A and B are shown apart, each in its own frame.
Chain A
Amino acid sequence: MIQEDRVRRALSAVRDPELDEPITDLGFVREFQIEGDSVSVTLHLPTYLCAPNFAFIMAADAKEAVGALEGVGRVQVTLVDHQLSEEINEGLAHGKDFDEIFPSDTEGTGLVELRARFDSKAFIARQQGLYRALIEAGATPDLLSRLTVGQLPDGPDTARYLDRRARLGIDTSEAAPFLVNADGTPIPEEELDRHMLFARMVSVTIEGNASFCRGLLATRYGLEPTAEVRT
């Protein structure tokens, strides 16, 4: 017997790559049903025109996450009310990757570059959030530029940051410097101000987009907007 809780937890590990939040928190999972060893998941998005590549990433990741659960035999993920629903659903059902679904509209490099690009942005934003929180708590930029991972205070912001950092393959050992670029290289002190100004804008954009998407989804389906929880 597959428990609902396990499916929900698996889906909550799937993130919108752009908004850097779980699809469950964003309200993108309309419903899921369990029948024997089969699970079917229905996803819906804020608009008919949402970027197809992100739509596919979330659908494919949902399929993979649920499929990895013990006892699950078959997973069907259906994206509804999207301009490319048919193509994406059919492709997912046949285990195709994005390039195979849209051979003439892609450049053959798959979604690797896209995923990496948004993983980097999410990293920059999370690092900035933590940096800002530490400044507000009284730390100075000078001090933070010398801080190591091991010296970071325990807490959800730190955990979020380190989780993303690890996903990018950046050193998370205690002696590693806290402030690094998305490629893992240290940020020289003279560039720190500029870096943080730009990082602030990346954060502002992500937060703004997430809130816009929530509003659009709520309007589209007549729902109450889902709460903005940072996890």
Chain B
Amino acid sequence: MYEKNGEKYFIVDGHMHWWDASPENWKNKYGEGWIRCFYGYHSALSPEEYVWPFEKYCAYTEEDLMKDVFEDGYVDIAVFLPTYLYDFYHKGFNPTERDAILKEKYPDKFVLNTAWDPRDGEAGLEVLEEKVNRWNIKGCKLYTAEWRGDSKGWDLRDPWSVRYLEKCRDLGVNIIHVHKGPTIWPLNKDAFQVNDIDEVATAFPELTFIVEHCNLPRLEDLCWIAVQESNVWGGLAVVLPFIHLRPRQFAQWLGELLFWVGPDKLTFASDYALWHPKWLVEQFVDFQMPEDMVSEYGELTPDIKRKILGLNLAGLYDLQVPAEVMKQASVTA
């Protein structure tokens, strides 16, 4: 929990990882390219004192994670979003099984999600069910741009995707985190198009689709569908870190998201170890809409921040929020 000026915030980190991108795990040049790209994001947007050496970034330890996220980073509960990438990494990048090690060791600290890929067909459906039952999973992460052999990605409307979504619905896996791009099939179309989310969100009203990174670099496409589909949300990973070096730009992005998507459908996320939650939480709680933008976007109140930082995801994942936080929320809401 985080407290500032008497305001209390329950923190749910909606998107984090425990990856292994050590050189021994690189299967090919793509494994190295992937983590170097992540490292570019990390170094370009983090405050200087939070930038790690590349070697540590490739493979941080359990101790690093527990200290950064929970001891220093104010996070109450963190949501693991696995990313497989078996074509790039021998043992995968951040598979469910690896995250499960920490989930089993610290059951109250983590929400464990899994992932699926429609290209796994019938066999993958069984694996999904096994994992869901084994760890009592409520959500999953989909990465539509994942390479697999000659295939450079997939679409949520594919017949097999629909089979998996039906399976999720039947199993009670109602929270679908989707990361679009940047190389989705077909390669000649915009790599970040969200038409497929639009269609499946209509077809599956029981499911909530959290569009990770708010579909950056296509914020406007997310906003467009989130206005029409009440079950399409935006995850703020990658959007938030702009708060440090580009506060005005962050203010504009957030202002647009609040206007179109709304304060009840936006979720905090560090994308750890892309960024450290400590400075994100501190800066976000301190953040005010610049004076000249208030007339366009409105004030950023503690209540809006409370929702984004934790209450929205707590509601979705049915997490228990401390009474002292709820009290403030209900008094001022």
Interface residues in chain A, defined as those with a beta carbon under 8 Å from any beta carbon in chain B: 18, 46-53, 83, 98-99, 102, 104-107, 109-111, 113-114, 117-118, 121, 197-198, 200-202, 204-205, 207-209, 211-212, 215-216, 218-220
Contacts and interface: CB of A to CB of B under 8 A. Distances in A.
A208 B252 contact: yes
Interface in B189-218: 189-192, 216-218
Given A113-B189, A205-B220, A219-B40, A49 B183 contact: yes
18 contacts: A48-B37, A49-B182, A51-B183, A51-B191, A53-B188, A83-B33, A83-B183, A98-B187, A102-B188, A104-B150, A106-B186, A113-B188, A114-B190, A121-B220, A201-B260, A205-B217, A208-B217, A216-B44
Contacts of A121: 220
Contacts of A201: 219-220, 223, 256, 260
Contacts of A99: 188
Contacts of B185: 105
B89 to A, nearest CB: 15
Report, as a range, how many residues of chain B touch the other chain: 35 or more
A156 to B, nearest CB: 22
Q: Is the interface of B mostly helix, strand, loop or mixed?
A: helix
Contact of A208 (B181, B183, B242, B260): B242
A47 B40 contact: yes
Given A105-B186, A201-B223, 4 more contacts: A18-B217, A49-B34, A53-B189, A104-B150
Contact of A220 (B30, B40, B150, B246): B40
B157 to A, nearest CB: 14
B133 interface: no
Interface of B: 30, 33-34, 36-37, 40-41, 43-45, 150-152, 181-183, 185-192, 216-220, 223-224, 242, 245-246, 249, 252-253, 256, 259-260
Nearest to B45: A215
Contacts of B36: 48
Contacts of A107: 186, 188-189
